[in-house]
Protein backbone atom coordinates (compact mmCIF):
# COMPACT_ATOMS: atom_id res chain seq x y z
CA UNK A 1 0.00 0.00 0.00
CA UNK A 2 2.95 2.33 0.39
CA UNK A 3 1.94 3.37 3.91
CA UNK A 4 4.69 4.07 6.42
CA UNK A 5 4.39 4.53 10.17
CA UNK A 6 4.71 8.31 9.89
CA UNK A 7 2.15 8.76 7.11
CA UNK A 8 -1.25 10.33 7.65
CA UNK A 9 -3.80 8.06 5.98
CA UNK A 10 -7.22 9.28 4.85
CA UNK A 11 -9.70 6.48 4.20
CA UNK A 12 -12.98 6.71 2.32
CA UNK A 13 -15.52 4.54 0.63
CA UNK A 14 -18.26 4.91 -1.93
CA UNK A 15 -21.12 3.53 0.15
CA UNK A 16 -24.50 5.17 -0.44
CA UNK A 17 -24.76 5.98 3.28
CA UNK A 18 -21.56 8.05 3.09
CA UNK A 19 -19.30 5.96 5.23
CA UNK A 20 -19.38 2.33 6.12
CA UNK A 21 -16.27 0.30 5.38
CA UNK A 22 -14.06 3.35 5.90
CA UNK A 23 -14.91 3.39 9.62
CA UNK A 24 -13.82 -0.24 9.85
CA UNK A 25 -10.58 0.51 7.99
CA UNK A 26 -9.96 3.45 10.38
CA UNK A 27 -10.45 1.08 13.31
CA UNK A 28 -8.16 -1.59 11.79
CA UNK A 29 -5.33 0.92 11.29
CA UNK A 30 -5.66 1.95 14.94
CA UNK A 31 -5.81 -1.69 16.09
CA UNK A 32 -2.41 -2.19 14.48
CA UNK A 33 -0.90 0.95 15.99
CA UNK A 34 -1.35 3.53 13.25
CA UNK A 35 -2.85 6.58 14.98
CA UNK A 36 -2.55 9.03 12.08
CA UNK A 37 -5.66 7.93 10.21
CA UNK A 38 -8.76 9.95 9.32
CA UNK A 39 -12.08 9.17 7.64
CA UNK A 40 -13.29 11.35 4.75
CA UNK A 41 -16.62 12.45 6.22
CA UNK A 42 -19.40 11.71 3.75
CA UNK A 43 -17.17 9.51 1.64
CA UNK A 44 -16.59 9.66 -2.08
CA UNK A 45 -20.25 10.47 -2.78
CA UNK A 46 -20.07 13.80 -0.94
CA UNK A 47 -16.60 14.54 -2.35
CA UNK A 48 -17.92 14.16 -5.90
CA UNK A 49 -21.07 16.18 -5.14
CA UNK A 50 -18.86 19.16 -4.27
CA UNK A 51 -16.93 18.69 -7.52
CA UNK A 52 -13.64 18.06 -5.76
CA UNK A 53 -11.06 16.51 -8.10
CA UNK A 54 -11.00 12.78 -8.78
CA UNK A 55 -8.84 10.59 -10.98
CA UNK A 56 -9.62 7.58 -13.11
CA UNK A 57 -7.66 5.02 -15.04
CA UNK A 58 -4.89 2.75 -13.86
CA UNK A 59 -4.20 3.11 -10.15
CA UNK A 60 -0.91 4.63 -9.08
CA UNK A 61 1.47 2.03 -7.67
CA UNK A 62 3.02 3.57 -4.57
CA UNK A 63 6.66 3.18 -3.72
CA UNK A 64 7.25 0.26 -1.38
CA UNK A 65 7.78 1.25 2.21
CA UNK A 66 7.96 -0.46 5.58
CA UNK A 67 5.17 -0.42 8.09
CA UNK A 68 5.83 -1.87 11.52
CA UNK A 69 2.56 -2.89 13.11
CA UNK A 70 2.12 -2.54 16.83
CA UNK A 71 -0.94 -4.47 17.97
CA UNK A 72 -3.08 -2.44 20.38
CA UNK A 73 -5.10 -4.94 22.46
CA UNK A 74 -7.15 -2.06 23.92
CA UNK A 75 -9.18 -2.05 20.68
CA UNK A 76 -10.28 -5.68 20.83
CA UNK A 77 -12.12 -7.91 23.31
CA UNK A 78 -12.10 -11.68 23.26
CA UNK A 79 -14.83 -14.07 24.37
CA UNK A 80 -13.45 -14.50 27.89
CA UNK A 81 -13.15 -10.74 28.38
CA UNK A 82 -16.75 -10.26 27.28
CA UNK A 83 -17.91 -13.00 29.68
CA UNK A 84 -15.98 -11.31 32.49
CA UNK A 85 -17.51 -7.97 31.55
CA UNK A 86 -20.96 -9.53 31.75
CA UNK A 87 -20.34 -9.89 35.50
CA UNK A 88 -18.08 -6.90 36.22
CA UNK A 89 -19.79 -4.33 33.95
CA UNK A 90 -16.51 -2.41 33.75
CA UNK A 91 -17.23 -1.56 30.12
CA UNK A 92 -20.48 -0.50 28.49
CA UNK A 93 -21.47 -2.72 25.57
CA UNK A 94 -23.12 -0.80 22.73
CA UNK A 95 -24.75 -2.77 19.90
CA UNK A 96 -24.85 -0.97 16.53
CA UNK A 97 -27.46 -3.24 14.92
CA UNK A 98 -31.08 -2.34 14.27
CA UNK A 99 -33.51 -2.47 17.17
CA UNK A 100 -35.31 -5.43 15.56
CA UNK A 101 -32.09 -7.45 15.30
CA UNK A 102 -31.00 -6.40 18.81
CA UNK A 103 -34.35 -7.50 20.30
CA UNK A 104 -34.35 -10.73 18.29
CA UNK A 105 -37.55 -9.81 16.43
CA UNK A 106 -35.96 -10.62 13.06
CA UNK A 107 -33.43 -13.29 12.14
CA UNK A 108 -29.79 -12.42 11.68
CA UNK A 109 -28.65 -12.17 8.04
CA UNK A 110 -26.11 -14.91 8.79
CA UNK A 111 -28.12 -18.06 9.64
CA UNK A 112 -25.39 -19.43 11.92
CA UNK A 113 -25.80 -16.51 14.37
CA UNK A 114 -28.54 -16.48 17.00
CA UNK A 115 -30.96 -13.54 17.13
CA UNK A 116 -30.98 -10.98 19.92
CA UNK A 117 -28.45 -8.92 21.82
CA UNK A 118 -26.08 -9.53 24.70
CA UNK A 119 -27.59 -9.24 28.15
CA UNK A 120 -26.68 -5.85 29.61
CA UNK A 121 -25.89 -4.27 26.24
CA UNK A 122 -27.58 -1.11 25.00
CA UNK A 123 -28.77 -0.59 21.46
CA UNK A 124 -27.66 2.41 19.42
CA UNK A 125 -28.26 1.84 15.73
CA UNK A 126 -25.29 3.24 13.83
CA UNK A 127 -27.54 5.25 11.50
CA UNK A 128 -28.53 7.50 14.42
CA UNK A 129 -24.95 8.81 14.41
CA UNK A 130 -24.95 9.73 10.72
CA UNK A 131 -26.64 12.54 8.81
CA UNK A 132 -29.38 10.86 6.76
CA UNK A 133 -28.73 12.93 3.62
CA UNK A 134 -24.95 12.66 3.34
CA UNK A 135 -23.86 9.93 5.69
CA UNK A 136 -21.56 12.36 7.45
CA UNK A 137 -20.95 11.95 11.16
CA UNK A 138 -23.41 14.19 13.01
CA UNK A 139 -22.23 17.29 14.84
CA UNK A 140 -20.66 16.88 18.26
CA UNK A 141 -23.80 18.11 20.04
CA UNK A 142 -26.07 15.74 18.09
CA UNK A 143 -23.69 12.83 18.69
CA UNK A 144 -23.62 13.58 22.40
CA UNK A 145 -27.44 13.63 22.41
CA UNK A 146 -27.66 10.26 20.66
CA UNK A 147 -25.24 8.60 23.08
CA UNK A 148 -27.04 10.19 26.02
CA UNK A 149 -30.44 9.07 24.67
CA UNK A 150 -29.11 5.51 24.65
CA UNK A 151 -27.75 5.95 28.18
CA UNK A 152 -24.13 5.56 27.08
CA UNK A 153 -21.72 7.46 29.32
CA UNK A 154 -18.70 8.32 27.20
CA UNK A 155 -16.64 9.14 30.28
CA UNK A 156 -16.64 5.36 30.86
CA UNK A 157 -15.11 2.64 28.63
CA UNK A 158 -17.23 1.43 25.72
CA UNK A 159 -17.15 -1.80 23.73
CA UNK A 160 -18.94 -1.52 20.37
CA UNK A 161 -20.44 -4.61 18.79
CA UNK A 162 -22.59 -5.58 15.81
CA UNK A 163 -23.01 -8.60 13.56
CA UNK A 164 -19.71 -8.44 11.67
CA UNK A 165 -17.63 -5.56 13.05
CA UNK A 166 -18.39 -3.01 10.34
CA UNK A 167 -21.13 -0.88 11.89
CA UNK A 168 -19.59 -1.24 15.37
CA UNK A 169 -16.66 0.73 13.96
CA UNK A 170 -19.05 3.64 13.30
CA UNK A 171 -19.93 3.64 17.01
CA UNK A 172 -16.20 3.65 17.83
CA UNK A 173 -15.50 6.47 15.34
CA UNK A 174 -18.33 8.62 16.70
CA UNK A 175 -17.27 8.05 20.32
CA UNK A 176 -13.67 8.85 19.40
CA UNK A 177 -14.71 12.07 17.67
CA UNK A 178 -16.41 13.21 20.88
CA UNK A 179 -13.40 12.34 23.02
CA UNK A 180 -10.76 14.14 20.94
Q: Is 162 a catalytic residue?
A: yes
Q: Per the residue annotation, which of 130, 137, 162, 170 is the catalytic one?
A: 162
By the 8 A CB rule, do 163 and 122 touch?
Answer: no
Starting at the earlier edge strand, list the strands of the sheet with 92-95: 122-123, 92-95, 158-161
Residues 6+ apart with CB under 8 A from 175: 147, 154, 158, 160
Q: How far is CA 92 from CA 29, 67, 86, 161, 172, in A?
A: 23, 33, 10, 11, 12
Catalytic residue annotation: 162
Amino acid sequence: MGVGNGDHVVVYDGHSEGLMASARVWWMFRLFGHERVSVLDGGLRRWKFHWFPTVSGEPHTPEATNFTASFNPHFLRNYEQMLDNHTSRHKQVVDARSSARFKGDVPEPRPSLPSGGMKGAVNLHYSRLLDAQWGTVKTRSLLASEFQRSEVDLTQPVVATCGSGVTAAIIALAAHSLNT
